Amino acid sequence: MENTSSVWDDATASSSSQCADHQTMYLANIRDLALKVVYIVIGTVGVIDNLFVLFVFFCFINVADKVSQVNY
């Protein structure tokens, strides 16, 4: 009887630990996916911000050229 009780305890402990490992891996995969999405959003906003700065710089150059061509 002692052997069957021990085997049953080992089997239930094993299956609950496997379930916990599966849940841990599932949560880790969700965390990794969320971090990838956050990094993609931050990178995209950074690129768009840099393009906006370049656009403003080129507009400034055009305005400066027009001002320098005006005869006073």
DSSP 72: -
Query: Among 7, 33, 36, 30, which Cα is nearest to 22's?
Result: 30
Q: Could you give phi then psi for residue 70, rounded to 5 degrees?
A: -75, 130
Which pTM value belongs to this model? 0.57
Per-block mean pLDDT, blocks of 10 residues, the chain (72 long): 55 65 90 96 96 97 88 64
- How far apart are the C-alpha atoms of 48 and 59, rounded to whole Å? 16
Of the candidates 29, 14, 60, the residue with the CA atom closest to the CA atom of residue 6: 14
